[in-house]
Structure 1
Amino acid sequence: MTIRFPRALWQNRELCWRLAEREVLGRYRGSLLGLAWSFLTPLAMLAVYTFVFSQVFKARWGTLENQGPLGFAVNLFAGLIVFNLFAECANRAPTLVLANPSYVKKIVFPLEILAGVSVGSAGFHALTSLVVLAIFELIAFRGLPYTFIWLPLVWVPLILGCLAFTWVIAALGVFLRDIGQLVGVIVSMLMFLSPVFFPVSALPLQWQPILTLNPLAQVIEQTRMVVIAGEHPQASYLIAGTLIAGLACELSFRLFQKTKRAFADVM
């Protein structure tokens, strides 16, 4: 089977980049602080979550209990970055095509790159949050682990998974308008069914295998391993995760390509 989606994105990389840049800048255009909001927003949410879970509920993070609220905040933030990247793509996916009717009517416009634009925009905000995380780690642990360099490979399955999910939901969203409500509920549930506010090891043993079936759980745990714990990622995750996500991406891309012929008629 010939893999098609990398070629489609690569051929339109310049257009994809320009649209992603326009989307990022357009979100903050006219605001007083501009791009600074991309740093301030995650910081504000981090402060609220850290206060509620570490001070109100007195939650501690296992091996980092001696670090107190700051150690909890670093682990929480690492999980939030991964989840927010997925959530931003998922929440936009149902209306991704519907919000751009002018593109649908242009026969020459490659609609498939809209997923790449969405993931690229979400990726920008994830990168700004990573800068904040690095600063927090320097304050809390007085250094960054060298295993931080593994993060791009750890995130390959995440990026491919977000692309696959976006293509499927964007296509379904054209024909099933209720899909947006369903995705919103699923994303809210996944926030608490993913190890964002707790490590997988905090769960009873009988529940741990079930939670690890959640793909986000794997990415979050591997991210914490390389950016906080200073451990190398699991080779099985890198290989199997990338292959499975790549296959899902290709199948989703082909589904989108087949269904997009009917977009104009439905809209």
Structure 2
Amino acid sequence: MSILSAFGSNRSLVFELTRREILGRYRGASFGLLWSLISPFLMLMVYTLAFGFIMKSRWPGTTGTTTEFALILFVGLTVHGFFAECVNRAPSLIVGNTSYVKRVVFPLDLLVWSMTFSALFHLLMNTVVLLLLQLLWNGQIHATTLLFPLVVLPLIILTVGVGWIVSALGVFLRDIGQVVGVVTAAMLFLSSAIVPVDSVPEHYRWVFMANPLTFIINEARQVVIWGNAPNWLGLGIYFVIAIAVASFGHMLFQKLRKGFADVL
């Protein structure tokens, strides 16, 4: 309950920080918040052009059409994009908000929540684009799509935990900011986001299956693309692990925050 206590008692503050963060990201842009919808389209066009048309990639067990491959690819990119946005920002989260560190009464762990909700907003926009394309190209949206929030919920909790760990360590180990970018890029290509696990040589598959994004990406495709029920047992195990990581991350953050002011 400790990982929810601060959020529960400061919900309005978290939502205000999230709102300011989202609006600040698009402040001054001609299209404003529309870029949250335009960017996913552009990203999908680039990856579909590269993998669908130039490299002629196709997903095993599908009809082999470019549109279906684009949707399958987009699900993986959307899930990875949410995780990568949070982890890549985490190292500078505390360092970039020194004014909050100096205020003893400010709950610094809320910064991770606001960062996560900001990434969730972009995940929502990407999902809207995905569903619109699926309706346009396939003429239907599966009822199991309603289960998508339950599929990504364990990943959200895991991401919050990783955010606490990385943001706390980023205050003392500034080099970690250079490392996480490489790690998140590796997690994209070493997951099922772009590469089907079945096409990977068997003695290398454990690397893909050990990637925490692979399972969520696969289950997201099951409920959104193919209209199947998710693996409830797998999601339950993932949820327990995510809670453990988040609890450890919050404990580590609260312990290290005592030295933030001295370092900054």
TM-score by length of 2: 0.97
SS at match of 1:197: coil
| Structure 1 alignment gaps of length 5 or more | none
Quote the offset at 1:8 in angstroms.
1.6
Quote the offset at 1:194 in angstroms.
1.2
8 Å contact from structure 2 (residues 86, 119) kept in 1: yes
- Corresponding residue number in structure 2 for 1:147: 144
**Given the alignment of the two structures, is residue 235 of structure 1 paired with residue 235 of structure 2, yes or no?**
no
Quote the offset at 1:63 in angstroms.
2.7
- Corresponding residue number in structure 1 for 2:124: 127
Greater CA drift, 184-193 or 164-173: 184-193
| Aligned residue among 28, 31, 42 for 2:29 | 31
8 Å contact from structure 2 (residues 190, 207) kept in 1: no
Which structure 2 residues correspond to residues 204-215 of structure 1 after superposition, within 5 A? Answer: 204-215=201-212
Quote the offset at 1:86 in angstroms.
0.3
Runs of 4+ in 1 over 4 A off after TM superposition: none
What code does the residue aligned with 2:13 have?
L
Quote the offset at 1:29 in angstroms.
1.1
Between the aligned partners of 2:196 and 2:55, the Cα distance in structure 1 is 16
| Aligned residue among 78, 81, 93 for 2:78 | 81
| Structure 2 alignment gaps of length 5 or more | none
- Corresponding residue number in structure 2 for 1:11: 9
8 Å contact from structure 1 (residues 199, 221) kept in 2: no
8 Å contact from structure 1 (residues 147, 226) kept in 2: yes
Quote the offset at 1:85 in angstroms.
0.1
Quote the offset at 1:129 in angstroms.
0.5
SS at match of 1:71: helix
How many pairs are equivalent?
264
**Given the alignment of the two structures, is residue 103 of structure 1 paired with residue 75 of structure 2, yes or no?**
no
8 Å contact from structure 2 (residues 144, 229) kept in 1: yes
- Give the alignment's Cα RMSD to 1 decimal: 1.0
Identity of aligned residues (%): 42
Quote the offset at 1:209 in angstroms.
3.5
Between the aligned partners of 1:160 and 1:175, the Cα distance in structure 2 is 24
- Corresponding residue number in structure 1 for 2:63: 65
Quote the offset at 1:198 in angstroms.
2.6
